[in-house]
Amino acid sequence: MARALIQMVKQYERGNDWIHVPRLEKSMESVKSPCLTQLGRWQLIEKHPGKEVDPARKSSGLWRPTELGIDFVYGRVRIPGHVFVTDGKILARSIEEIDIWQALRKKFNYQELMDGS
């Protein structure tokens, strides 16, 4: 999810105001839907407020990073490591906070992700 958030922020900064999450997920082999939209529980991304054209669908699939999401990607803030949810409602957030490097966990090159290499 952290890698996908980085990709969303990069697209947003390139002028893509709203990002189509299903397309982004398809382009990233390690991300599975609805994984990425869970970032909304941390208020790192927000859903497009417009009404869905097709009432059979839950949403348009359009999301964008919030200021908190952008700050998290750039390492300027820490966020709760866990969000506890029941029936789609947030019950609590963990006291333990993490930064972007902890969220990425596995061996990675932060600069390479940010540069798009």
3-state SS class at 86: strand
CATH code reported for the domain at 2-78? 1.10.10
Q: Where are the domains of the chain?
A: 2-78
Share of the chain above pLDDT 90, in %: 32
Threshold 0.85, pTM exceeds? no
pLDDT in tens, 82-101: 888 888 788 888 899 999 98
> Per-residue pLDDT for 33 more than 80?
no
The rounded mean pLDDT for the chain is 81
| Confidence bin at 59 (pLDDT 50/70/90) | low
Using alpha carbons, select from 49, 43, 41, 39 the residue that is nearest to residue 17: 49
3-state DSSP helix/strand/coil % of the chain, to nearest 5? 40, 20, 45
Residue found by looking up tokens 């982004």 in the block: 24
